Structure 1
Amino acid sequence: MRRSMGTFFSQTLCLLCLGSLIPGIMAGFLETRTGYLTEPAAYRLEAETMVTAERLSSAVASSFALFDTSSILPALDSGTQGAGSDVILRRIVTRTIIPETGDSVEVTGLLAVPVSANSTVPVVSWQHGTILSFDQVPSNMVKLSDPNYTLTDDADSLETLFNIQRFAANGFAVIAADYIGKGPLRNGRGEAYVVKGATTQTCLDVLNAGLTALKNLDLTPTKLFLHGWSQGALNTQWLHQALRSGGVAIEATAVASPFSDLDQAWRYWSGKVIFPLPEGLSSYAALAPWIAPCMIVALGSYELYYDLPGLLATAVRPQYRELAERYWNDYNISAIHPSDAPNSTNLLVDSFWKGYTNDQISALQRQLISNTAINWDYDSPIRFYYGLADAAIHPAMVTRTLAAGGRFTEGIHVANGSHRATFLAGLYGDQTSLDGHDNVLSWFQSKLL
């Protein structure tokens, strides 16, 4: 599936030199499975605020331990890892058409631009990971307009904070989508969790709006980089493939803790696939308790967006159905008592993996297989950062993707890396924690030379 190389730099310059530039003009060369985005998309920017480099680094330092759950990194070194520039944050509002349903909806995202940017700027498209709430989205970083606002793990997208401090405060513009069913314009819409078309189209449209906004801010995008973690790692691979299908050049892509094959991931989470221990380990991390809520959200999303009525009720064991329906509607994890909570190995009905159960479950399994991201021959550099103590992603799930991805793929393991610590190490680690490799920021910066 290798596509011909496009030149993002030259296409961008060509498009941006048009005297009649209008918002969305760059959509002409972004392609998805449903075809080229030929209609110019209007956008607006809201809630502009500037955040100082000092405040960004202070917020990251306060949140560092929440992600370094394996204690594999030293504390943040403000001298070598601090933000290098103040950053201007803006909420992006644009529209997307959901391929699975045909609905046209407003979606939100974040545009973060270094104050130091002057005439040109490289761009990082950031795809955030699983967030089991409706509100912990990248665009909520504009809350930092309040100097007294304190970011917290249960109310904010701290992973986006790290990306802003690491990339936007060190010379890159960062563009990040909030995803369908999340953010200030959710309007009661259900999430499209790991729904390929809706997710990819939203990321494309927010990226397109952000790139156009940069031009209208008198900044020319130069090189394009992609970064994602966990669910966002899957979304990043989908986005990468869609952009390359449209001939858009990508300088480099980095993903952390990726589950690239949904069918394989569900079998692993359900206990139906057992991988051998990674070399040198005598045990491996038990599956995380938050995987079951993620599977519930995925079931609700697939029922909604792939028109599979009754999927949630028929796929979940009877004793957990009422809980699952309630959680899909309110995301209130605190209402689930631990003694009543399912885990990923006992959530699904016994017949789920044994043969035909009903049309909805069969359709779900076909869709999980169809939404894989491993059937791609990468023709630009992509790194997969994976932990050796990740309670959601087994290393065997990543090495399979590396083997299939071609010569531009590279795997970097993080010794003792939990799910969160792997993400953090990818951004702030060094050769000691990253098996002799550099972190994502250093790698991206090397591509600018």
Structure 2
Amino acid sequence: MAAQFYAVFNEHDVLPKDFSGKHEARYDVELRRITTMTRVPETGERVKVSALVALPVGARGALPVLSWQHGTILSFDQVPSNLLRLGDEGYQLRDNIDSLETLFNIQRFAGNGYAVIAADYIGKGPLRNGRGEAYAVKGATVQCCLDVLDAGLLELKTLGLRQSALFLNGWSQGALNTQWLKQEMQRRGIKVTASATQSPFNNLAESFHYWVNPTSYIPSTETSYPMPPAWITPCLVVLLGSYRQYYGLSDLFKTAIKPQHQAFAETYWADYSLAGDTAKTVPPAADLLVDGFFDRFTQDTNSRLLRQLGRNGATFWDYDSPIRFYYGLADEALHPRLVKPAIAAGGRFAAGVPVAGASHRVTFLASLYGDGTVLNGQSTALDWFNSLM
């Protein structure tokens, strides 16, 4: 199945067109859905969440564990645990409906002897119950991932399995989550053998600004660098909705979004749908926010948002175990200059892997299936993790 969707992610054929036999999985994989309770530090609520555990069939004793943090999904159910739909032999996976990024991680890691544990996140998946997601909300995200990892390890224990080494991996939103998760584990003294991130957002205030005004970040000499795509506007709405809900910024849509776009934002935040006439009302990201949002004081709530985004950044951290930042040199959602400060500040264990010609999706795909030619002489996350055991 991974081979089926490889071409979908391999935009502009940056990687070889053929899904190489060397990428074939060594094990069949068993998928399990687990549930657990998590606490939302920002609000004090306790919430039930779902997650996926993927195991190599026939595993015994100790095996390496991968905590996988998925990227942005502009739906409520495109989550890791919904891959259990594959239990229906007639079910057909679809792009933008199913968690194909999780499928690739399962194929590469669980298919090669790892246990993969993947949170669906708060406000996502079968246990959503109408709750808004906690997109880029630090405390809720970190606690959810920690609680899911604990629940996943308990599931392994009930099956007579145990962890030999712990690895973290995440793409896009999940790359930010992975940095947060590693940093919190470091604070708590939890050993992580290594972490990998792809398209790693880290400075939220700067990334938020970039999405709205990319030309202020892209050097004038880079005339062909791709601009942020149309799906950035829905991402901005989800970010604002999440911060309104979890940080108590109750009037944020009214203070931050231009009046003519507030109805669209409310509608999209409620249903994540661009069906029908809604699609006609999506503004360009550059026109979503009130004038002067990043240039001067506009409203107290807007200033509070920017301060919170600053506090939630992951850029400036001294890592105590190896971490790789895979970043695309043609990533339409994240310019390389927004990645490099985290690498420079991360200490001797931090390393960047530029991916030649890579879009947002290709950056992720290359981290799993690329070779030294596209990975600047470096290895895939799987091969790198294997070398550290």
TM-score class, shorter-chain normalisation, is over 0.9
* Aligned twin of 2:384: 443
Question: Are 1:190 and 2:124 matched, yes or no?
Answer: no
- CA shift digits 1:88-131 (9 cap, x unpaired): 11001000011011111110000001013211110000000000
Other structure's SS at 1:342 match: coil
Residues 19-66 of structure 1: per-residue CA shift (max 9 Å, x gap): xxxxxxxxxxxxxxxxxxxxxxxxxxxxxxxxxxxxxxxx11111121
User: 1:418 corresponds to which residue?
Assistant: 359
- Say if 2:55 is the partner of 1:113: yes
Match of 2:156 among 192, 209, 214: 214
What amino acid does structure 2 have at the position aligned with 1:242?
E
Residue in structure 2 matching 1:323, options 252, 261, 264: 264
**Which of 198, 212, 227 is equivalent to 1:270?**
212
* TM alignment of 1:85-234, pairs within 5 A: 85-234=27-176
**Which residue, out of 403, 424, 427, partners 2:368?**
427
C-alpha separation between the residues in 2 aligned to 1:75 and 1:83?
18
Checking the alignment, whether the CA contact within 8 Å between 1:278 and 1:395 is kept in structure 2 is no
Say which of 226, 229, 251 aligns to 1:310.
251
Bigger mean CA deviation after superposition, 149-158 or 221-230: 149-158
Q: Which residue of 1 aligns with 2:240?
A: 299
Tell me whether 1:64 sits opposite 2:6 in the alignment. yes
Alignment check: 8 A CA contact 1:116 1:171 kept: no
Q: TM-score, normalised by structure 1?
A: 0.84
One-letter code aligned to 2:225: Y
Q: Which amino acid aligns with 1:415?
A: A
Deviation, structure 1 residue 339: 4.7
Structure 1 CA distance for aligned equivalents of residues 20 and 349 of structure 2: 33
SS of aligned partner of 1:70 = helix
Pick the aligned partner of 1:361 from 278, 302, 322. 302
Aligned to 1:29: none
**What are the superposed Cα offsets for residues 60-86 of structure 1, whole Å, 9 maximum, x if unpaired?**
111112111131112353521011101
Q: 1:253 aligns with which of 189, 195, 205?
A: 195
What is the rounded CA distance, in whole Å, between the counterparts of 2:230 and 2:241 in structure 1? 18
Quick one: distance in 1 between partners of 2:220 and 2:168?
Answer: 28
Alpha carbons 2:34, 2:50 under 8 Å: kept:
yes
In 2, are the aligned partners of 1:277 and 1:283 still within 8 Å (CA)? no
The whole-number CA distance in structure 1 between the counterparts of 2:116 and 2:12 is: 28
Q: For structure 1, which runs of at least 5 residues remain unmatched after alignment?
A: 1-58
Q: Deviations over 1:220-266 (max 9, x none)?
A: 10100000000000000000011111111111100000110000101
Tell me: CA distance 1:211–1:239, structure 2 relative to 1, closer, same or farther (3 Å): same
Match for residue 16 of structure 1? Answer: none
Give, in whole Å, the separation in 1 of the partners of 2:244 and 2:379: 41
Amino acid at match of 1:229: W
Q: Offset of 1:312 from its aligned partner?
A: 1.4
CA distance in 2, matches of 1:347, 1:386: 27
**How many Å apart are 1:332 and its aligned residue?**
0.1
Percent identity, aligned pairs only?
Answer: 55
The unaligned stretches of length 5 or more in structure 2 are: none
CA distance in 1, matches of 2:262, 2:251: 11
The count of corresponding residues between Structure 1 and Structure 2 is: 389
| Structure 2 counterpart of 1:4 | none
Cα distance, 1:351 vs. partner?
Answer: 3.0
**CA distance, structure 2, for counterparts of residue 427 and residue 104 of structure 1:** 35
What SS does structure 1 have at the residue aligned with 2:5? helix
Q: CA deviation at 1:333?
A: 2.1
2:269 aligned counterpart, secondary structure: helix
Structure 2 partner of 1:370: 311
Mapped contact 1:61–1:75 kept (Cα < 8 A):
no
What is the CA RMSD across the aligned residues, in angstroms? 1.5
Which residue number corresponds to residue 341 of structure 2? 400
Shift of 1:154: 2.6
CA drift of 1:433 comes to 1.2
Tell me, in whole angstroms, the C-alpha distance in 2 between the residues paired with 1:75 and 1:204: 37
Query: Which digits, 9 at most, give the CA deviation of each residue in 1:283-327, with x for residues without a partner?
Result: 211111111110100101100000111101221111111001000
Deviates more, 1:145-154 or 1:200-209: 145-154
SS of the aligned residue for 1:88 comes to strand
Name the structure 1 match of 2:288. 347
| Distance of 2:225 and 2:297 partners within structure 1 | 32
Matched residue type, 1:95: M
- Is this contact kept in 2: 1:277–1:284, CA < 8 A? no
**What whole-Å deviation, never above 9, does each CA across 1:419-447 have from its counterpart, x for those lacking one?**
00110011000101111111111111111
Query: Which residue identity lines up with residue 321 of structure 2 in the other structure?
Result: S
Cα contact 1:267–1:273 (8 A) shared by 2: no
Q: What residue is the counterpart of 1:286 in the other structure?
A: 227
